[in-house]
Structure 1
Amino acid sequence: MKKPFLLFLLLALAMSLCAQVEVWEQKLKDMPRDTQRVNLLNRLARLHYNTAPERTRYYAERALKLADSLHYTRGLAEAYKNQSLLFRLKGENTRELETLLHALQLFQSLNDSLSIAQTYTDMGAAHHQEGDFKAARDQYMKALDMQRAFRNTEGIALTLRKIGVLETDMKNYAQGLEAFELALKLEREGHNAEGIANLLNNIGVVYYEMGEYGKALQHYESSLALFRETNNLNRLPAAYHNQARVYLAQGNVARALQLASLGLPIAEQTDNRMALLESYQLHTDIYSARHDYEKAFDYLQRSEILKDSLAGARSHIRYAQLKALIETERKEQEIDFLKQERAWTLFRQKIAYAGLALALFIGGIIIYYQRNTIRTKKELLKKNDQVHAARQALLTLELENKKLQEGQLQRDLEFRHKELLTYTLNLVQKNTIMENLREGIHELLSTSDKNSKAKISKLIKVIDYSLETEKDWDEFKMYFEKVHSSFFERLKQQYPDLSQSDLKLCSLISLNLSMKEMAELMGISPESVKMARHRLRKKLNIPTEENLADFVASFKSS
């Protein structure tokens, strides 16, 4: 019950589609040369592919030319895809791939992921036809991943069918059947008659390859019925030939010849060279089985000639068909030319006046914009000069301010350095005077009476306290750190065992004072200073050849 209903539904759909095609072709005559016309041309090219491939070429070429003149990217991409169908039909795989690559690049520029996925599927089929199974699988898997991401049921089913054909050709029959069954389920859910027919035919091929001729014939017959209902002339020859192969394998040569004879004229009519090659090879096998070697040899020669033609001259179509198509196009162009000629005379009269008016108008616009551009440029240059001058003045002011700041910092540093030197020299001078005073008082002590000696001894203690007081050291340290900040902190951080006396000695060494000056400041003898320097060198672990003053000076702040 379901099968007659499905056939009736397909017949109604086919009749409706034919009527729709007639409406669209009539509508095309009155449409302007815009993007909508390109879309309709591409749609008609696809619809005629299965029933009238020569019309597909006619519409695809016009869509390509118009889309290119309009710079209509999507229309151009679709036209390239339609052209690739014709190259596939003629077995020109190289040109098919080139055309599909053009379409792919255009779809990628539009970020049209769905169309990109469909193009990957078509490219996979072209690689498959050339025998490059690895490249075909890679393209199919790219397409399948994208189709699944977009949940495009129709695209998933088509790609699965292509994968199934590939697995079958690679003798992976279980994987091929699995892919076909998944695709068939999706096509039946979508009521896609063409997809169902193709998949039934594909499943029949798998069973034929596996030697299960009953199942193969069952699927072939169902496929053939659907191809007849949809009038799919491109697929009908393969459907007849596949059934013929089954009957030939079963020994029913007469039935095989009958079916092969039905497929051959359709392949010739549509210039389906791949189907034609299969038909010649099938007839060769059939006549060989009938021991009619003369006819078998005749079809073998035809198949070899066609095979050579496909391998060596895929860029050419058959001369007779090309001549017919060119003649048809020439007549159509003559008709178009006559139609245009009637309007061209009036147009030429108007174009002169319109051209003159347009030239004057464009000239006025150019002059206006040139003047406006010159005025704008002058204003812009003036503003740029003002901005540049302001920036230069600001930069000069910043540089002067920086120089003033640097000068002030340098003067402050010089002042502090002088202050440190002055204080140090004063301290040395004071200590020298106090030392001399103490020596003079010691001389008086030996000649003085008892009462005077007590007072003089007290005075000597005061002088000794003055020489040994920490107040002078604290003040010296304050002045020193104003000039060389963090000097003591760095020394202590690197050499934590240094005493206050060591630190004091380091600071005096860094000022390049003499032994005597250092002795006066520290209240010890020059010999003691020398011994202190020796101990300091050991604490600092300085090699003998390295200068102590240079090493200590390296801890001054920069």
Structure 2
Amino acid sequence: MGNNLYFRYPNLFMKKLTPLVILLCFFLSTQAQTPAIEKLNKQIENNLSNPDSTKIYLFRLLKHAAELHDTVIGKTYSTLGIQYNKLAVPDSAEFYMKKALDYTEKYPLPHAKMYLNLAINYRFGSRYQESLEALDNAMQFYKKAENKEGEGLVYGEMGSNYNYMMNSEKALEYLKKAIAILTEVNNQRELYIVKQKLANLYYNNGDYAFAKDLYEEVLPNFAKNKGLNYYYTLLSYADCLIQLEENYKGAEEALKEVESGLREMNNKEYMWLSVSNLAKVYDATGRTQEAQEAFQKAYDGSLQLNSTRFMEISVHYLDFLNNHKQYTKALSVIDQVKNNTKTSRLKMNAENEIDFLKQTVSTYSQKGMVENSLQSFERMDFLKDSLNTAINKAKSLELQEAYQNGLQREKNLVLTKNNELLVENNNKKDNILLLSILIFILILAIGLVLFLSNKNKLKLQQELVTSLETSQKVLEEKNTLEHELSLERERTLVNKEKELIEVTMEMSDLQNRIMELIAHRENPESSEALATKLKDLLSNNNYWKYFKGKFVEVHPVFASQLSEMFPSLSDSDVAYCCMLKLQLSTKEIASLMGISSDQVESKTATLRRKIGMGDDILGFEKLIDHLE
């Protein structure tokens, strides 16, 4: 009878035997281990907290690959990938984790575990869609092996992914599934981990009080084995204390423990994040100098590491600098961030960039850089609109997917019922024919619904394309108009400057001619009094006021820029620089200001000393020419 059952249900027997076969392979592989392999396994186990050392022993173990079972080789490659993940080298981590999949392909449970590790690596690199695809693959193999515990693990990781994707509803849905399954199979260790993920969900949604309570529940369990998960949880717990502003001392102690533990484990990426959070504690408790030093260390360290947390740390640092009115330093950080986020590794996502732009708006506004501030503000508005559009689109696709799944489920139910009727009523041809007609009508109805849905979708797409084309045309017309206005402004500026120079030359010539008449008068004695009055008139009523009014029309911000850069300059100094801007001669300047040519040269030298340029004549001329 046993043989008959085997031939009738071969797949059932294979499903039951597969785990036993895998265990047997592991057992035989373990028994066949040489003393060298056993020694390496112990060294790997003892050094798991030190990724650099663990890597060396793992590579040595792989040299014995000919003596190891495929599943052991796969696990070794996956563990190697985990070490690179700890060292913030995601590309190498992905390479070795994918290599692990090649060796476990024939073994569902180990294969599922390899996909699970790969999904976690993708999540750490913010590659959430790829992470979800890897988790789908893991779920298929766990279901194939009928492993409920594995399914619970996958649901937990899916919840984490959606949490990072700011999709709280889906995150909560999958975390509840994970908790239900892990409670059913009584896996307390993984249950605590899923509760930690649930705490992360509340943390990301700003419910710090509830998140803190959950962290306090799971931390004692994680503290029994102070691995990465313990330090990550402690890091989030400390941030809850900071956000609640109720226990800065406890937050500081927790963050110092995190920094020390991660430094020892050489996990620099999260170590620098803990230093950044520690800086926030210092700032909140009035230790500004310590806060600045800690922020600078975290900023420099994460930048050098090309950490995915670089943007988060940069935003916190800029917030500190703006709050303490260190706007010049903030400008330097902004420029450095912009230059370094051009790389794909540090490239900003929309949420990062919005937070960054908020800080740049504050910095530019305080520095009087109005145009830069407006550009940042406009970019921030654009990103917010784009995010809202993306969220709406995602929800729309989600609803469409749910609708299509509903239709498919209905279709499957009908087909199943049809098969049952065919088996039970094999001789009732009339009923079968009637049922077939009903099914055909239902399929037609489904096809019609799908057709109308696709038709509406196509119509919406066409309207969107038309709208985009119209927007593009308007934008091109706007750019053309702005270009024409710019050219017109340039022509007007040139004409005004030419007019200003001509008027200045006329004023200078008029004054020179009056001075010449005074110098060459025929009867010096009798006209001495008249000459004196003319000189006083020229001296007291020079043409500077008229000149200044005309100059401002041509160069509206020159004088204000100069005064802002060098507050010690007097109005007379600024007036003199305005004449230099027009490249007037020494004689023309002397006439306009009512002074001698020697006094003009002397004033030039004095002005250079005032602005700290001394004998640097060429540098001074470049400065005057550079200002608008």
TM-score, normalised by the number of residues in structure 2: 0.43
Structure whose CA Rg is larger = 1
In the superposition, the TM-score normalised over structure 1's length comes to 0.48
